[in-house]
Amino acid sequence: MKRRYVAGVLAMLLPVFTMYAQKDTSITTGTWKYTGEYPAGKGVLQSAKDGIIFGKFVNCKAEGYGIQYLPGGSRYQGNFENGQHSGNGRFYHVSGKIVLGDFKEGHAEGRDTLIAENGTVFIGMVRHGQPTKSGTRYPSASSAGVTVPAFREVKLNKEQKKFLNELKKNWSASSDTDRPARFQGGDVKKFYDEWMHDRLSWSKNMKGNEALVEYSFVVNEDGTISDVRIISSNRKEFSDAVIKVLEKAPAWEPAVKNGTFVPQTIKHQIHFIQNW
C-alpha cells in the first residue's frame, strides 16, 4: 500500500515538475539572448544573426509558428523548423518584395507567390528563392487575383526597438557610402576559406580527379543566398558538391548602393585536386 501511495503522489507531482521546468527563463550567451519557456514553449530570441524571433521554441531554436524581424530590415511570419524558415510562411523583403507560400531550410522552396517591388506577380514553383519555368507571371496583384497580405506586427518594447536599431546601424553602411556584399567583413575568398572549404565533400572513388568549377550566386537584399549557378565545370560530381554546400550557406551582409540594400551576384572559381 505504501508503494502505491508514493507512486500516486509522484504521478500527481510530475505535471508540476514539468510546468516548473518550463517557466519563464532567461538564457544569455555572447551572441544571443533567449527569454521564455524552457526547454520548450513560447519565447523570444534576440541575436545578431537572426534579429528578433517571437514564437515557439525547443532548446532555444524556433520550432513552429513565429514572427521574425531580421537584422537588415526584412520580416518573416510563418513556420520554423530547427531555427529556419520551413513550411508555410510569408517573407517581407526590406526592398518591398513579398514571398508567400512554401519554405524549406531558410529559402522559398515549393509552390509560392512572388510579388516583386514593381508590383508584378509570379505564381508557381520556386527553387532556392527563384522562380522556375513552372509558373505564370502577371502584371499586377489584381490581375493575378492576389490580395497582398499585411505583416502581423508585434508590439516591441523599448529594449527590443533599441536592439533592432543597433543591428540596422551595424548591418548597413552610411547613406553616402556604396559597398559590395560582405561575408563577416570579408569577400568571397574569406567565405570560401572560412566556411565553404571544410564543408565540401565528395566520393572517395573520385581519387585522382581534377576539376575547375566556376560558379555564381546572388546575395539578396536581406543577405540570404539564392540563384546558385554553375557557370562552367568539367566534372559534374564537383559541380554537385558546390551546389549542395551553397544551398545551406549562411547569410551575408548585403551590398549597399546609395544607402539602400541591393542584390549582388558573386562569382568564384574553385580548382579541385583530389589526391587521396
Which DSSP string do the residues of 25-68 spell out, in sequence order? EEEE-SSEEEEEESSEEEEEEEETTTEEEEEEEETTEEEEEEEE
Give the chain's mean pLDDT. Answer: 83
Q: Any bridge partners for residue 89, and if so which?
A: 78, 101
Cα–Cα distance, 39 to 45 (Å, whole number): 13
| 198 phi/psi in degrees, rounded to 5 | -70, -15
Question: Using 50, 70 and 90 to split pLDDT, how confident is the model at 22?
Answer: low
* pLDDT for the residue numbered 163: 92
pLDDT tens for 186-222 read 889 989 988 998 888 766 666 556 778 899 999 988 8
* pLDDT for the residue numbered 98: 92
| 196 phi/psi in degrees, rounded to 5 | -75, -40
* pLDDT for the residue numbered 14: 37
Q: Which of 45-59, 117-131, 168-182, 223-237 has the highest mean pLDDT?
A: 45-59
* pLDDT for the residue numbered 101: 95
For 230-255, the DSSP string reads EEEES-HHHHHHHHHHHTTPPP-BPE
Is the separation of the CB atoms in 216 and 267 below 8 Å?
yes
Cα–Cα distance, 161 to 173 (Å, whole number): 19
Question: Using 50, 70 and 90 to split pLDDT, how confident is the model at 60?
Answer: very high
pLDDT for 46 beyond 50? yes
* pLDDT for the residue numbered 238: 86
* pLDDT for the residue numbered 166: 85
* pLDDT for the residue numbered 31: 82
Place of cell 502584371: 139
Of 111 and 272, the structure prediction assigns the larger pLDDT to 111
Cα–Cα distance, 251 to 59 (Å, whole number): 22
Sign of the alpha-carbon dihedral angle for 188, 197, 85, 216? positive
pLDDT for 95 beyond 80? no
The residue-averaged pLDDT of 46-66 equals 93
